[in-house]
Amino acid sequence: MSDDGEIWVDPSGALIEVPRGVEDLPPADTRRWVIRRKAEVVTAVRAGIITAEEACRRYSLTAEELESWRRLIETHGLPGLRATRLQRYRGGAGKRTRLAEPVAPIPDPGS
């Protein structure tokens, strides 16, 4: 982190460096969204460096996706952005999808 940049502390105590300009944001063609890249985009929107509409257009995100990142950071900090934690934080823990029953019994190859 740079010595002259603005730093925010999230609810988990993690430090997030606020990008100084659009040039400090992830590339427009980003496809792999690690925690830090998501946080950079959210903090850039919060700091007024880029609007939510510009961020959605630049990264091909939906407004709902960007808003969910913002809510997760504000509520759970950087750990909330982990893909493996999303189900827990979104209230889906414990829900299981049941596989459909086969329409007809699978024949035994030995019969």
All structural domains of the chain, each given as residue ranges with its CATH number in brackets, are 7-89 (1.10.10.10)
Tokens representing 79?
A: 């750990």
Model pTM greater than 0.75? Answer: no
User: What is the structure's pLDDT at 81?
Assistant: 87
Tokens representing 96?
A: 């299981």
38-85: per-residue pLDDT in tens?
999 999 999 999 999 999 999 999 999 999 999 999 888 888 888 755
Residue 60 bridge partners (DSSP): none
Distances (CA, A) of 44 to 40, 70, 106: 6, 11, 55
Q: Label residue 88 by pLDDT band (50, 70, 90).
A: low
Can you give the C-alpha Rg of the chain in angstroms? Answer: 20
